[in-house]
């Protein structure tokens, strides 16, 4: 062992106790479908942003539509997945958590709101903040009602 390099111990790998990682065991497929759905949803959101750009101080129509349509779809899909029929266990993580989670964007909503306020567009900011919240809740409700009506 005279040829072995000295070890400072910094290369040692510390493995956490098994119970720490236990809740994550067997979740690889779920993580993968969430990541795939999220990537597709984020790309769709980016595409809508390119199609409906807005300048500084303008009403962010693209973000508004993304969030409202996303809420409508989440409302409808939750009913379809949970009430209509037994869906594959990976459908909900892929579509709802992944795709629609990546498609909708609360952080952009917050940034757009701040930018409207920073440019003195208080009325537009108030309309955007309250309008998005009201429209999102209404869209979720409408999605649930629509899916249930179609299923009858």
pLDDT tens digit at each of 152 positions of the chain: 555 545 555 556 666 566 665 666 678 889 999 999 999 999 999 999 999 998 888 999 999 999 999 999 999 999 998 888 788 889 999 999 999 999 999 999 999 999 999 999 999 999 999 999 999 999 999 999 999 999 87
What is the SS3 assignment for 1?
coil
Q: How many Å apart are CA 23 and CA 64, to the nearest integer?
A: 36
Asked whether the whole model's pTM tops 0.75, one would answer yes
Q: State the burial class of residue 30 (Cβ atoms within 10 Å of its Cβ: 0-12, 13-18, 19+).
A: middle
Q: Which helix (H) or strand (E) holds 110?
A: helix 106-118
Are 71 and 136 a contacting pair, CB within 8 Å?
Answer: yes
* Residue 123 CB contacts under 8 Å (≥ 6 apart), including other chains: none
């Amino acid at each position: 062992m005279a040829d072995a390099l000295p070890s400072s111990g910094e290369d040692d790998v510390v493995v956490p106790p098994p119970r720490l990682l236990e809740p994550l065991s067997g979740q690889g497929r779920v993580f993968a479908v969430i990541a795939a759905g999220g990537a597709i949803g984020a790309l769709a959101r980016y595409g809508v942003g390119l199609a409906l750009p807005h300048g500084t101080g303008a009403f962010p129509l693209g973000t508004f539509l993304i969030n409202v349509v996303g809420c409508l779809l989440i409302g409808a899909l939750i009913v379809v997945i949970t009430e209509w029929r037994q869906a594959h266990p990976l459908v909900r993580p892929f579509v709802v958590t992944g795709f629609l989670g990546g498609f909708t964007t609360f952080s952009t909503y917050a940034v757009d709101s701040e930018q409207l306020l920073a440019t003195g567009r208080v009325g537009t900011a108030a309309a955007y903040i309250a309008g998005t919240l009201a429209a999102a809740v209404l869209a979720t409700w409408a999605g649930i009602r629509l899916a249930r009506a179609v299923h009858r």
